[in-house]
Chain A
Amino acid sequence: MRSGALSTMPQPEQGDAGNLDSFAVELLQDAPCGILVTDPDGGLVLANRTLAHWLRRSDAELASPVRIKDLLTMPGRIFFDTHVAPMLRLQGHVREIACQFERRDAPPLHVLLNGVMRTAPDGTPTRVDYTIFDATERALYEASLREARSGAEQLAAIVTASPDAILRVGASGIVQRWNRGAEAMFGLGATEASGRRVEELVRLEGSEGWFAAHRRDALPIKRFEAVDAEGRDLAVMISVIGDAEDPGADWSIVLRDVTERARAERRLQLVNGELNHRVKNTLSVVSGIARQTLSSEDSLALGQRLQALARAHEVLTGAQWDSVALRELVQITAEEAGGPERFSFDGPDLELSPQHATTLSMALHELTTNALKYGALSCDGGVVTVAWRLEPGDAPRLHLSWRESGGPVVVPPTRKGFGTKMINRVLAAEFSAEVRFDFAPDGVCCEIGFPYG
């Protein structure tokens, strides 16, 4: 007999049937796994205490006519009927079946189920013994494994199926991975491409060492466009896999054939240039017609307005019809008004949309014309001061003020000329501007405010 803790345990010994029984009962009832015995059809015969405790059920609830599959969740029941029961009959056992037992007032318990069919000497099934292991931890681990696997598979499928060439290269530019898009784009299978230098496989005009050059910069991401040996325009994106500072890091290279887009852009540029040219021509033809049609005073006014329009158009063309600096527009007006001695301006750098720019430059032209004819610019010493500011907030507004001073005494007009009408109507209609004229005796003042951005 060994000493220590073992000696306090009931020892199975010959002739000591009582001890053996109580040992067996304890072992069965409190085993570190659930033990379940059913008849061959699955009706419960015996469930140990461990299982009853796990399932939070009384002995009466774990007895016939309840069947083992009644304890399972619905999918488990179907699986039991279609797989487990046939396997027990065909091979006499099942092992490591992952399933879930329903529990009272608790989420189902993930378990692994092992079962063995016991038979009489003549082969007739007599009962099924199951051992049931708590698989909560394993279920959690497997769920996260499945999720990771499914995420990785989906990402891999995206890369594989992409028409873009997607490559993984080592630090020295040796190709490691070469997707189907790359195979199609460069006519080279992944096996052939693997192990070769990327710059040798993807030849970009005028930059033989394009990958090495980029790697020296060690920027996390770089994008550029280049023409390859086949004459295709390629958009290239190089990004580090991992740490850009690590000299041994691998790189991901994505190449997209943008030949069509580049061609369309070039065509658009040509058309744009031609169109700008024609607009200017048309405006000067209209001026010519006006000169021949209208009285000299009217044709002069119209001609000047058309010129103002042409200048605004020119500024916009120069800016690719993108956006125009407000300062640039005001500068044109300043020249029209007679230069810095007569016209001063101040305000923050702000960009205007093409539409705002055209309308605002026409308005500035009208104000200038008016000032030259009747206002501060019509006599020596008069000046115009333009100032603008941005009023920030949820709906920012741009405020521009036009102040004349030093001119003749102002008399409010008895009728509205084209200029003030144009300013009021067009500005108000096209960009919900508020326009306020103040014909103060010492100089005209015009305040324009409109939503910005």
Chain B
Amino acid sequence: MSVYHRNNVKVTGGTGQTMLFAHGFGCDQEMWRFVAPAFEAGHKVVLFDLTGAGKSDLGAYDFDHYAQLDAHAEDILRICDELELRDVVLVGHSVSAITSVLAANARPDLFAKLVLLAPSPCFLEDNGYHGGFKREDLEGLVAFMDENYLGWSAQVAAMAAGQDIDGPASVELTRSFCRTDPAIAQHFGRVTFLSDRRADMQKLTRPALIVQCSDDTLAPTEVGRWLHDNIGPSTLEILEVTGHSPHLTAPAETIDAIRRFIDHAPA
């Protein structure tokens, strides 16, 4: 099956160096809406939905296969191969920052640089490593998602939360953002939050930019520092931003940081 269909691949921009954007847990390629267009002038911009998210082919989500993050890394490599992408700047957010490293470790020849937005290779507290969470917190998330998806099934009959969002168009929007098959979302949540890929971080040979938010529950700045210490050729930028998605809450700063890195840092 073509990756265009399977991962809803969208290519925009020009003919310059390719930038491949991988969204994180929870949403889909719409997450790059405020950042990706800024690079279209000088780059070929490739966006996609992770298998199991957004408008990807949900039928391709094999639960056993995707029980390891490596499967998502393989998807990145398949996209590069099918689109014949080389010298790629791979931008991964959250869990996809981790799979980006896995992909670059498997095929360093494909990638020029990596941008890791709010990465965390391990969410668990572990002996001096401050991932931020206890195991029961993370297990609780799975139960939590179960509750929400049940509530969401009645979504269409939802009451209004504000003005003029009740038209058919807004219902369509509500359905498409950040929602997917509940079973897949739960499975991916579990795989994301219970993985420990710290050992893989140290194997990265490509230069990496680590962008961490100053106030991020999911990926604390300590994790950014740990990554900076453990990834050989890396640059750490801490943005004064609340939350886990700098590309949504501080797109201008995020664009600047990425630009500084890809335009000036040695490859």
**Considering the complex, which residues of chain B in the window 209-267 have a beta carbon less than 8 Å from any beta carbon of chain A?**
216-218, 241-245, 248-249
In this assembly, does A41 line the interface, its C-beta being within 8 Å of a C-beta of chain B? yes
Given A69-B217, A98-B148: A82 in contact with B249 (beta carbons within 8 A): no
A188 CB to closest chain B CB (Å) equals: 29
By a CB distance below 8 angstroms, the chain A residues around B25 are 82
Question: Is the Cβ of A81 less than 8 Å from the Cβ of B161?
Answer: no
Question: Is the Cβ of B242 less than 8 Å from the Cβ of A41?
Answer: yes
Question: Is the Cβ of A95 less than 8 Å from the Cβ of B178?
Answer: no
By a CB distance below 8 angstroms, the chain B residues around A264 are none
Interface centre among B33, B146, B177 (most CB of A within 10 A): B177
Question: Is the Cβ of B177 less than 8 Å from the Cβ of A85?
Answer: no
**Considering the complex, which residues of chain A in the window 103-148 have a beta carbon less than 8 Å from any beta carbon of chain B?**
112, 114-116, 129, 131, 139, 142, 145-146
Question: Is the Cβ of B161 less than 8 Å from the Cβ of A114?
Answer: yes
Given A78-B218, A146-B146: A93 in contact with B165 (beta carbons within 8 A): yes
Question: Is the Cβ of B248 less than 8 Å from the Cβ of A95?
Answer: no
By a CB distance below 8 angstroms, the chain B residues around A74 are 133, 137, 140-141
Q: How far is the CA of A116 from the CA of B148 in the complex (A)?
A: 18
In this assembly, does A171 line the interface, its C-beta being within 8 Å of a C-beta of chain B? no
Bin chain B's interface residue count.
Answer: 35 or more
Given A85-B243, A90-B248: A146 in contact with B150 (beta carbons within 8 A): yes
Which of the candidate stretches B5-13, B37-45, B108-116, B152-160 sits at the interface with the other chain?
B152-160
Contact with A along B88-100 (1 / 0, CB 8 A): 0000001000000
Q: Which residue of B lies closest to A150 (CB)?
A: B146
B32 CB to closest chain A CB (Å) equals: 11
By a CB distance below 8 angstroms, the chain A residues around B245 are 81, 85-86, 89
Q: How far is the CA of A99 from the CA of B147 in the complex (A)?
A: 8
Q: How far is the CA of A89 from the CA of B241 in the complex (A)?
A: 14
By a CB distance below 8 angstroms, the chain A residues around B27 are 82-83, 86-87, 90
Q: How far is the CA of A145 from the CA of B151 in the complex (A)?
A: 12
Contact of A85 among B133, B138, B193, B244 (CB under 8 A): B244
Question: Is the Cβ of B26 less than 8 Å from the Cβ of A86?
Answer: yes
Question: Is the Cβ of A85 less than 8 Å from the Cβ of B249?
Answer: yes
In this assembly, does B196 line the interface, its C-beta being within 8 Å of a C-beta of chain A? no
Interface centre among A76, A90, A116 (most CB of B within 10 A): A90
A340 CB to closest chain B CB (Å) equals: 78
Q: How far is the CA of A312 from the CA of B249 in the complex (A)?
A: 93
In this assembly, does B119 line the interface, its C-beta being within 8 Å of a C-beta of chain A? no
Q: Which residue of A lies closest to B118 (CB)?
A: A81
Q: Which residue of A lies closest to B152 (CB)?
A: A96
In this assembly, does B143 line the interface, its C-beta being within 8 Å of a C-beta of chain A? yes
By a CB distance below 8 angstroms, the chain A residues around B151 are 96-98, 112, 142
Q: How far is the CA of A75 from the CA of B170 in the complex (A)?
A: 27
Q: How far is the CA of A7 from the CA of B144 in the complex (A)?
A: 46
By a CB distance below 8 angstroms, the chain B residues around A129 are 162
Question: Is the Cβ of B242 less than 8 Å from the Cβ of A67?
Answer: yes
Q: Which residue of A lies closest to B143 (CB)?
A: A75
In this assembly, does A435 line the interface, its C-beta being within 8 Å of a C-beta of chain B? no
In this assembly, does B145 line the interface, its C-beta being within 8 Å of a C-beta of chain A? yes
Given A87-B178, A96-B154, A98-B147: A82 in contact with B140 (beta carbons within 8 A): no
Question: Is the Cβ of A79 less than 8 Å from the Cβ of B144?
Answer: yes
Question: Is the Cβ of A91 less than 8 Å from the Cβ of B243?
Answer: no
In this assembly, does A40 line the interface, its C-beta being within 8 Å of a C-beta of chain B? yes
By a CB distance below 8 angstroms, the chain B residues around A91 are 170, 173-174, 177
Q: How far is the CA of A75 from the CA of B218 in the complex (A)?
A: 11
In this assembly, does A398 line the interface, its C-beta being within 8 Å of a C-beta of chain B? no
Q: Which residue of A lies closest to B245 (CB)?
A: A86
Q: How far is the CA of A76 from the CA of B86 in the complex (A)?
A: 40
In this assembly, does A94 line the interface, its C-beta being within 8 Å of a C-beta of chain B? yes
Question: Is the Cβ of B249 less than 8 Å from the Cβ of A40?
Answer: yes
Question: Is the Cβ of A90 less than 8 Å from the Cβ of B177?
Answer: yes
Question: Is the Cβ of B148 less than 8 Å from the Cβ of A86?
Answer: no
Q: How far is the CA of A94 from the CA of B154 in the complex (A)?
A: 14
A46 CB to closest chain B CB (Å) equals: 16
Q: How far is the CA of A79 from the CA of B133 in the complex (A)?
A: 14
Contact with A along B13-44 (1 / 0, CB 8 A): 00000000000111100110110000000000
**Considering the complex, which residues of chain A in the window 38-75 have a beta carbon less than 8 Å from any beta carbon of chain B?**
40-43, 67, 69, 73-75
Interface centre among A78, A94, A139 (most CB of B within 10 A): A78
By a CB distance below 8 angstroms, the chain A residues around B170 are 91, 93
Q: How far is the CA of A145 from the CA of B34 in the complex (A)?
A: 40
By a CB distance below 8 angstroms, the chain B residues around A83 are 26-27, 178
Q: Which residue of B lies closest to A142 (CB)?
A: B150
In this assembly, does A419 line the interface, its C-beta being within 8 Å of a C-beta of chain B? no
By a CB distance below 8 angstroms, the chain B residues around A86 are 26-27, 31, 177-178, 245, 248
By a CB distance below 8 angstroms, the chain B residues around A77 are 217
By a CB distance below 8 angstroms, the chain A residues around B174 are 91, 93, 95
Contact with A along B34-68 (1 / 0, CB 8 A): 10000000000000000000000000000000000
A191 CB to closest chain B CB (Å) equals: 23
Q: How far is the CA of A81 from the CA of B245 in the complex (A)?
A: 8
Q: How far is the CA of A73 from the CA of B133 in the complex (A)?
A: 13
Q: Which 3 A-B pairs have the closest CB atoms?
A: A116-B162, A114-B161, A82-B26
A-B contact pairs, 23 of them (CB 8 A): A41-B249, A43-B242, A69-B217, A78-B141, A79-B144, A81-B218, A85-B249, A86-B31, A87-B177, A89-B248, A89-B249, A90-B30, A90-B177, A91-B170, A92-B165, A93-B161, A93-B165, A95-B161, A96-B158, A114-B161, A116-B161, A116-B165, A129-B162
Given contacts A79-B141, A86-B27, 6 further A-B contacts (CB under 8 A): A78-B137, A78-B193, A81-B243, A96-B155, A98-B150, A114-B159
